[in-house]
Chain A
Amino acid sequence: MTDQTPPPAARKPMDPLAKTFSGGRFALFDLYRASVQAGGGIMIDGRAFTDCVIEGPALMLVLEGVHFASTNFGKTGGNMRNMLFQPMGDVGIGAIPVRNCTFTRCTFEAIGITGNETFLQDLIRQVPTVD
């Protein structure tokens, strides 16, 4: 676990194509599937999430332009590495691609993270763990 944030509001209806999400609780795979079905493309792109609880189980593929501010990445088991996966090929099939998004004071639950090696090393180096 990283930074502590107060629990946001309970689950409520959302527009899967919205550019901003504030105070919601939703499953990442639910948002992704709804976004794809609504014509939002195969990536979650250009969204801003604030004070959201984002649930898994899911693996997030972090691409360019993604920023995390005061994000609680969830239970790490005492080591940020436990949340991370290294793609063995060029494409991380099975992961949900996220690009040009900001996550501000969000809390992740059962979300794994993958991305390029530099990004993963940055997370290991920069994200403190408390459990």
Chain B
Amino acid sequence: MTDAAPTLTFDTTLAERTAYEKEAIWLPAFVMSHMQAGKNLIDGKTFTDCLIEGPAVLFATDNVNFEGCNMGVTDDGRNLLLQTVGSKVTGVIPFANTRFVRCRFVGVGFTGHPDFLKQIAENLQINSGDKA
């Protein structure tokens, strides 16, 4: 290991806010800011017209809604979805009571209860990056 890589700094004020509008949200840094604030669950947020970037997998727990969102670039919406194998999860970013309004997701996968995955798979038309 030689040259220095960029060192991440996390904006801890992100965790205190509940509304985000027309912002670019890099999910890994976003969740780290919450974890540093002692919040392991991202709860009670509203994102409007935001760009939500991964790589990351969003774990939808309770009451997470997507309204007019572009879920990502793929020719098959199932490519955005991952099923849990066990009864617990690790490595994903848990959300609850959150609205995403007209947001665009890039490099973000989704997981959650089988009913949530079924809803996403059946109800969203995801065609090569077109609006879902």
- Chain A residues close to B by CB (< 8 Å): 12-16, 18, 21-22, 24, 27, 29-34, 37, 56-60, 74-77, 79-96, 110-114, 120, 124
- Contact across chains for B89 and A112 when beta carbons are under 8 A apart: yes
Complexed CA–CA distance, A81 and B84 (Å): 8
Contact A83 B90 (CB under 8 A): yes
9 closest cross-chain pairs (CB), A and B: A94-B109, A112-B91, A81-B86, A89-B78, A89-B79, A82-B86, A13-B4, A84-B85, A82-B88
Given the known A-B contacts A18-B1, A82-B86, are A88 and B117 also in contact in the complex, defined by CB atoms under 8 Å? Answer: yes
Main secondary structure of the interface of B (DSSP, over half): mixed
CA distance A56 to B93 in the complex (A): 10
Segment 74-105 of B: residues with Cβ below 8 Å from A: 74, 76-93
- Do B5 and A110 have beta carbons less than 8 Å apart? no
User: Whole-angstrom distance between the alpha carbons of A107 and B109 in the complex?
Assistant: 24
